[in-house]
Structure 1
Amino acid sequence: MKVLLVLGAGGEGGAETFYTHITLALHRAGIETHTALRQNDNRVSLFKGAGIETLVLPFGKLFDFKTKKGLKQKVKEFKPDVVMTFMNRATSLCPKGDFLHLARLGGYYKLKNYKNCDHLIGNTKDIVDYLISVGWPAERSHHVPNFASVEVDAAPVSRADLNTPDDATVLLSLGRLHENKAFDTLLRAAKIEARPYVWIAGEGPLREELEALAKELGVQGRVRFLGWRNDRGALLAAADICVFPSRFEPFGSVMIEAWATKTPLVTTRTAGPEEMATDNHDALMVPVDDHRGMAAAISRVMDEEGLAERLTAAGFETYRKDYTEEACVQNYIDLFEKLLAQEKRIAS
């Protein structure tokens, strides 16, 4: 089986991170995997280092005459059985051809860019329900969840390097510095529960605004803005609690990363966490934008005897059952094989 994976975004985010990890995982599983993507030094280096054939294209918005031509040539030369595209731009620019075109969706996207796809994959059941509700055929809608893409047994980062006392409780939150991720709620919670240090790993348009809010709240001395990091496993290994404060989250890769690394999890009740987690079992769940409830949940993990251990044991079992790399990759391979067999039967 030959699979071409296509990404038109050049930045860092949840979809881009999963694209990187599923590409490498399929390659490790023995699938003949090629990539076509917009320039990103980290991704290109990882793919080339793994021996994955990599084509860099502009994926521009206007006056880009190279990308469509380059994709057509790639398809002609590689002759993929499956082309899997990620996000709007890559999907809309994908040429037609003698291959199965699948698009993977990690959000509730408008389907105008997906009309030429053969099948759509949602990483949550709720996204699949959304696709069907807006008219996409149910028989061409499929659910395949993400997997935890962290180094499970990573050595912890040095707290001293991050100007954090060794005996402090550390809250870690990861994600793009965007309104949807609600890091402002976490900062407000940190003003109420004033014992922990807060590490925020991510980059984005709200960096200056969040730094200003931390100063306004008087918590800047305990908050560390770490920028975008590629050592999430090491950060989780060094942290005491993972906090996932999003106000909108279709899936929530951070959750399964916390479970995989046995880090107690506090999360909000958004779509992904509601589908995946069970309150007071594998996570503590609080309403969106409820900084007081978040502070109380953090205090519980810190103070309630045995709670952290119960959460991490149950979370690790949830991860082991549903969200390992092996399970996710096998789900994708099984889906590819099933759909290709269907196409073959139809053709014959």
Structure 2
Amino acid sequence: MTAVLPPGSPLEAMLEGRVPVLRVPMRGLWDLAARRRLRRLALSGGVPLVQTWMGRATRLLRLPSRRVVHVARLGGYYDVKGYRHAHAWIGNTRGICDHLLAAGLPASRVFHIGNFYRPPPPLTGEQRAVLRRGLGVPEGAWMIFALGRLHPNKGFDTLLEALSRLPETIAGRPWHMVIAGEGPLGTELREAGRRLGLEQRLTWPGWNPEPAPWYQVADLFVCPSRHEPLGNVILEAWGNRVPVLACASQGPSELIRPGRDGMLVPVDRPPALARAIADLLGEEALREGLVEAGFRRLEEEFSVEVILERYRDLYERLTGA
């Protein structure tokens, strides 16, 4: 196995010492030098299969036949035009697979394989207390957590409207909201928080490439997205044993079994989201049940071992190995 990455890719550090890496600049869809080099690597490397993970790499790689199988993996509802030349396709949700089939791709060559998540070791009690203080969470307060790019698709404006409807305390405890991420709406959302009178109840810690500790110190994770193809954040929340509340966009609706391993509310409905937050924080038994069921779902369907085995099975099927 060899990974082909553009120079400076953050994935290179993750793969160091595990997988050989070749660096190929991919400057754009009309980068003919990259197109020739990728084709040469695929055809002369003695490999039976090449999988592309990003749109640019998929569009640049053009193979003349199925002597080397080209598998394109999609993590969103992209225009299929740039993917049709592949020989097989993977969607990381059933909804994306349905999108590919609706575009006319053959059902015999479209496959569903989800994402995986490997939970880290749990924090100690002292580590949890220190981290919560560092995030500005008052002693004894509920910590509500959300994570994502500060972009219209992520619905953080809806979340702020919902928070403005919450009472001062829930089940006798104050609450504090931590929204992690960066993006084009950062300034606008912070101003909205001030306008809604939430400034003292909000922490904006920015982006963290390793957010697991933040999940672990939270009492509730909220995914307010109005457009979310999968929702890796839900897998991360399950793996870090925090109850999940999400708006019913595409990915969360597919992942969550309401009342069993998470809760769903309609998209862009602040009153419903506020009620669900208050209800969950007020019902300890419900939260505990969601946590245990979510962790089991992760282990049974989205663990590293389960997902890698599905990829191995698919590769063998496509190559006749």
Which amino acid letter does the alignment assign opposite residue 137 of structure 2?
T
What is the match of residue 175 of structure 1? 148
What is the distance in 2 between the residues matched to 1:237 and 1:305? 16
Change beyond 3 A, Cα 1:109–1:208: same
Displacement of 1:149 in angstroms is 4.2
Find the residue that maps to 1:192 and give its secondary structure. coil
In structure 2, give the amino acid aligned to 1:42: P
Q: Structure 2 vs 1, CA of residues 140 and 192 (structure 1 numbering), >3 Å: closer, same or farther?
A: same
Distance apart, 1:190 and its partner CA: 1.6
Q: Which residue identity does 2:114 align to in structure 1?
A: P
Residues 157-306 of structure 1 aligned to structure 2 (within 5 Å): 158-193=131-166, 194=168, 195-306=174-285
1:51 is paired with a residue whose SS is coil
Unmatched segments (≥5 aa) in structure 1: 1-31
Establish whether residue 128 from structure 1 lines up as the match of residue 97 from structure 2. Answer: yes
Please, which of 331, 334, 340 is the counterpart of residue 313 of structure 2? 334
- Distance in 1 (CA, whole Å) between partners of 2:139 and 2:49 is 49
Corresponding residue number in structure 1 for 2:23: 56
Distance of 1:293 and 1:208 partners within structure 2: 26
Query: Is the CA contact 2:97–2:110 (under 8 Å) kept in the aligned structure 1?
Result: yes
3-state DSSP of counterpart to 1:120? strand
CA positional deviation for 1:237: 0.8
Distance 1:65 1:173, change over 3 A: same
Is 1:148 aligned to 2:121, yes or no? Answer: no
User: How many aligned positions are there?
Assistant: 309
Q: Is the 8 A contact 1:246 1:288 kept in 2?
A: yes
**Corresponding residue for residue 38 of structure 1:** 6
Matched residues in 1 for 2:123 and 2:33: separation? 41
Partners of 2:31 and 2:103 lie apart in 1 by 31
Shift of 1:176: 1.6
Question: Structure 2: how far apart are the matches of 1:306 and 1:262?
Answer: 14
- The answer to whether the 8 A contact 1:199-1:226 is kept is yes
Partner in structure 1 of residue 171 of structure 2: none
Equivalent residue number for residue 53 of structure 2: 86
SS at match of 2:131: coil
**How far apart are residue 64 of structure 1 and its match?**
3.7
Give 1:150 shift: 4.1
Kept after mapping to 1: 8 A contact 2:29/2:59 = no
Task: Write out the 4+ residue segments of structure 1 that deviate beyond 4 Å after TM superposition.
Answer: 154-157
Alpha carbons 1:150, 1:232 under 8 Å: kept: no
- 8 Å Cα contact 2:218-2:242 kept in structure 1: yes
Decide whether aligned partners of structure 1 residues 151 and 45 sit closer, same or farther in structure 2, where only a CA change above 3 A counts: same
Q: Which residue of 1 aligns with 2:15?
A: 47
Q: Give, in whole Å, the separation in 2 of the partners of 1:197 and 1:67.
A: 49
Partners of 1:202 and 1:38 in 2: CA distance: 25
Q: Deviations over 1:281-317 (max 9, x none)?
A: 2111100011111111111111124111111122122
Aligned counterparts of 1:112 and 1:324: Cα–Cα separation in 2:
32
SS in 1 for 2:10: helix
C-alpha contact 2:43 2:68 (8 A) present in aligned 1:
no
1:320-331 matches, cutoff 5 A: 320-331=299-310
RMSD (CA atoms): 2.1
Per-residue deviation, residues 105-143 of structure 1 (Å, max 9, x unmatched) = 111111111121000111111211121111111001101
SS in 2 for 1:163: coil
Partner of 1:113: 82
Q: CA deviation at 1:162?
A: 2.0
Tell me the distance in 1 between the aligned counterparts of 2:192 and 2:131. 26
Give, as a single letter, the amino acid of the residue that structure 2 aligns with 1:109.
Answer: Y
Change (3 A) 1:41 1:276: closer
Q: State whether residues 100 and 110 of structure 2, in contact with CA within 8 Å, keep that contact through their aligned partners in structure 1.
A: yes
What's the offset of the Cα at 1:63? 6.7
